Amino acid sequence: MKPLLTWFATSLLAASGPEPLPLPAIPFAPRHYVCQRALKAPVLDGRLDDEVWQKAAWTEDFVDIEGPLKPAPRLRTRAKLAWDDEYLYVAAELEEPDVWAYQTARDSVVFQDNDFEIFIDPDGSTSPYYEFEMNALGTVWDLLLLRPYRDGARVAVNGWDYHGLKRAVAVQGTLNHPGDQDRGWTVEVALPWAALTEVAARSGAPRPGDRWRLNFSRVEWRTQVVDGRYEKRKGPGGQPLPEDNWVWSPQGIIAMHYPEMWGFVQFSAEPAGAPEKAATLTPEDQVAWALRRVYYAQRNHRPGSSRYGATLKELALEDLKLPEGWTLRLEGGEATWSAEARDVKGTRLCIDPQGALRREAIVK
């Protein structure tokens, strides 16, 4: 999920008080994946031997959540995706010499174990989005986030469930058995479109060419064996050492709940394994990022001023440039602010003070 536990407190303060909002410390360069069709649905048994998984491309290996600011993970993690009219399919492979898991109750804090996590923002607005976590026992924590933790308290709907969810785990070794060396564990997840589009701009499966924001995360704790059981290693103060957070698309900050930094998944009509043109950032993606920078700047400008910024100079954003054909409109006052960008073709992108991004066609 991670944030570390301390991040939750920090993010809530940032949303409601004078504390500055921490920002990603890497350039905006999300990873891309082209998700192709599954002509035959995989058998959900945790083993990645189905035809679709033999043909689908792997993501890049996961990196540290802070990206190049930190060393590469010591264990390999990667994922695959496919889709049909009913489900989004996700498979993952987690290298692990000691596979363990103890959380058994649904919606428990699964990341207290080593886990695999999926984050999904169907319309790219950052508000709302979905989170899914699973450990090597197959225990699930799924929830709906009305908006990121930085934007307010009580934003997580923990009682929300992926209705129709299917998942499975296969362990390449022995679970919860210290003394031998495992190879790892693999997971398969089928996420129904009916649940994933409950809060999206449209219902049902995506259309070919649609692009969603997704990311994958892996939480890995350093452990030792005590009385035949895995326990987290502790630091000098007696608290567990911080967990490692490894992700597909780097966040540049120890916080998964910055959906604007997640990767892009583009849905294709081609079957898994077919030749495919690589997906890349679009001018509209660059505009959305420019508006996100305005949001960051307004959040950090207001606590030290009597009003929100009304110009890019006030916000120290003189370097902010939009792609050709786009224009920015910015307003700021004592109580609130607004920012939007329009292009010559009639598209409008706007971001509100709560950080939600919206796209609409301009009616002339």
Question: What is the residue-averaged pLDDT of the chain?
Answer: 93
pLDDT tens digits for 93-118? 999 999 999 999 999 999 999 999 99
Which pTM was predicted?
0.93
pLDDT tens digits for 282-319? 999 999 999 999 999 999 998 888 899 999 999 999 99
Looking at residue 59, the DSSP 8-state letter turns out to be: P
Position 153 confidence tier, pLDDT thresholds 50, 70, 90: confident
**Phi, psi values for residue 294, rounded to 5°:** -65, -45
CA atoms within 13 A on the CB side of 163: 6
Position 18 confidence tier, pLDDT thresholds 50, 70, 90: low
Share of the chain above pLDDT 90, in %: 87
Mean of pLDDT values over 34-57: 98
For position 36, what pLDDT does the model report? Answer: 98
73-76 contacts, C-beta under 8 A, 24 or more apart: 73/220, 73/244, 73/246, 75/184, 75/220, 75/246
> How many angstroms separate the CA atoms of 280 and 277, rounded?
9
Mean of pLDDT values over 23-32: 98
* Residue type at position 310: A
For position 363, what pLDDT does the model report? Answer: 61
Position 19 confidence tier, pLDDT thresholds 50, 70, 90: confident
